[in-house]
Amino acid sequence: MTQVQSVPAGSLPDLSSARLLVVGDVMLDRYWFGDVSRISPEAPVPVVKVEKSEERPGGAANVARNAAALGAQVSLLSVVGDDEAGVTLGRLMEREKVRSSLHLDAAISTTVKLRVIGRQQQLLRIDFETAPSHEVLRAKLAEFEKLLPDCDVVILSDYGKGGLAHIAEMIRLARAAGKRVLVDPKGDDYSKYAGATVITPNRSELREVVGRWSSEEDLTVRANRLRDELGLEALLVTRSEEGMTLFRDGATFHEPARALEVYDVSGAGDTVIATLAAMMAAGAPWEAAVHVANLAGGIVVGKLGTAVVTREELAAVQA
């Protein structure tokens, strides 16, 4: 294992003045926890006796609450169905002190991911989702333009659920307004992210786009070629146990992984991009922002399910 990294003095600024606008696919993460003591007589599957349940914001909503947990001022713009899950998401975001504008689309159901947990292990995940309608997406785009003056940094969280159909236009509008744009990408077509400040694919997501690399030198060539093609200021690759690497024009910066047990990686990318954006909005340089984002990612993978890292947790590991 690599040595645990600490936060150097001065690298964790006051984030209370950072203003973030998070846009993307929101979802409600539901967890059913129970005991597993027998196999079903109907099929060779475990029987889970559900003892408790939890509901947490997921997707772009998890990004927003992670940024808020660090003390940033956060606005969330997205689409939900006119249903109980959408109402629950709105209530949860209010509790997390996130200003939410959740456009209602009566034609869809709010995306829900239901996870069944037995003996602290995920046994099953059930997804409910529908792509939002064109009319609601156009209305969201119009509100996006109105919200831009009141933010410092924009996060576009793409989970491939259809909520960012106008992402290229959002990037254009935000950049024209002088805002830095961070994108958590999805899929194998990154052309729609052209012009963003930075994109944050994980290792497997980047391989889908640039192919498999044979060495660190090969990765650097492929990453910088993609960065040039898209006109990005930077490309940040999260690499699981290998840490994360930032590629900029003429410079490569690598942060090794923290020496922690990995309990659950779900939502780790949300924590990383939220922390990176909050640090950038507070004026931190690239290296400091990536260092703290890596630290936050290392903390959150030690928690079950979609979770947050607080400023206090980061401060606790300062040198």
Catalytic residue positions, numbered: 270
Task: Please give the order of strands across the beta sheet that includes 112-118.
Answer: 46-59, 26-39, 112-118, 121-128
Torsion 298-111-77-75 (CA) sign? negative
Q: Retrieve residue 44's tokens.
A: 């060779």
Q: CA-to-CA distance for 235 and 237, rounded, in angstroms?
A: 6
SS3 assignment, position 313: helix
- Return all residues near 157 (Cβ < 8 A) that are at least 6 apart: 22, 23, 24, 25, 59, 60, 63, 184, 270, 273
Burial (CB count <10 Å: 0-12, 13-18, 19+), residue 109: middle
CB 130 within 8 A of CB 81: yes
Containing 175, the helix (H) or strand (E) segment is helix 167-176
Quote the DSSP letter at residue 132. P
Whose CA is closest to 165, among 25, 21, 20?
25
- SS3 at position 137: helix
| Residue found under tokens 């606008």 | 21
CA–CA distance, 303 with 119 (Å, rounded to integer): 15
